[in-house]
Homo-oligomer: A and B are copies of this chain.
């Protein structure tokens, strides 16, 4: 049985401090016109009463909640755990808070948006695909900016922050070619998203440019998870007993899954028997058993670009469109591609 807690309001504080309720409100708002002395009196009284302003009430008048919604599609990929952590830190610094939605089988992006609309959030960050134009409209009508993270959806009118995925794919292709690879496999991620497709396109285009025949490039779906990477590698080996020279995991976690099966179940050595590369540069891929060569996604810059586009501080001003441009990633050389062959 919880006792009926008596709520302390700004009126109680005003009474104790001997000022008006307006003064209490002003005391808690930085930059408002109030005498330093009055503010002190109020703050003292508030301290004595353990008073904390009710942001629900203030949101109602200001139409700002200081809450940003973040919709997470896939926590099975540690990349997004790092993303969440980074957003948490940066939002913290801006004095904003995160309302987090983790998508499940029966809840899609649109449902999540419908659920967050009532909360009058100041913005929404989307790390999952499949957003409908209608939902972008719902947000837009309410003045809620939405920005996609690590993806974009053409013609939705929502910003899409991402790194230069095609360029990254090309860099991996070049590294493989330089190391002498001539046959290839790709393990692809979410077929509905732009990210996997863009990386694959860059990769394949560069290979074709180098004169590699299309028939020397196979592709397997890995569903963006470790387990998917495992299954894709098995499918690949079932398909053809001799592995390709090089495997491009469209993200690190799938590359890691593939490496594990290839080494443990098929006794293959990386990179001696088969080269591997990933994409993202998650810390997990840098660990001892993997030392994965990959393309680093500039998470910090991507997060900051996202926040810029959300334009939290000054919602009525226009936004710097340049933040919507792809950000360059760069190749991180580790041990899963041998150094270039000088022939």
Contact = CB atoms under 8 A, between A and B. Distances in A.
A269 interface: no
Q: Which of A57, A119, A140, A264 has the most CB of B within 10 A?
A: A119
8 contacts: A52-B117, A55-B120, A75-B81, A89-B104, A92-B107, A99-B100, A261-B288, A289-B289
Interface size class of chain A, counting residues whose CB lies under 8 Å from the partner chain: 35 or more
Given A75-B84, A287-B260, A56 B120 contact: yes
A54 B316 CA distance: 21
A65 interface: yes
A78 interface: yes
Copies in the complex: 2
Interface stretch (A141-149, A235-243, A293-301): A141-149
A115 B114 CA distance: 26
10 nearest A-B residue pairs (beta carbon): A88-B102, A5-B143, A55-B118, A100-B100, A260-B288, A52-B117, A56-B59, A264-B288, A1-B318, A81-B81
Given A89-B104, A104-B89, A143 B97 contact: no
Interface of A: 1-5, 7, 50, 52-57, 59-60, 63, 65, 67, 75, 78, 81, 84-85, 88-89, 92, 97-102, 104, 107, 114-120, 138, 140-143, 145, 226, 230, 260-261, 264-265, 284, 287-289, 315-318
Given A1-B318, A2-B315, A119-B97, A56 B65 contact: yes
A18 B3 CA distance: 42
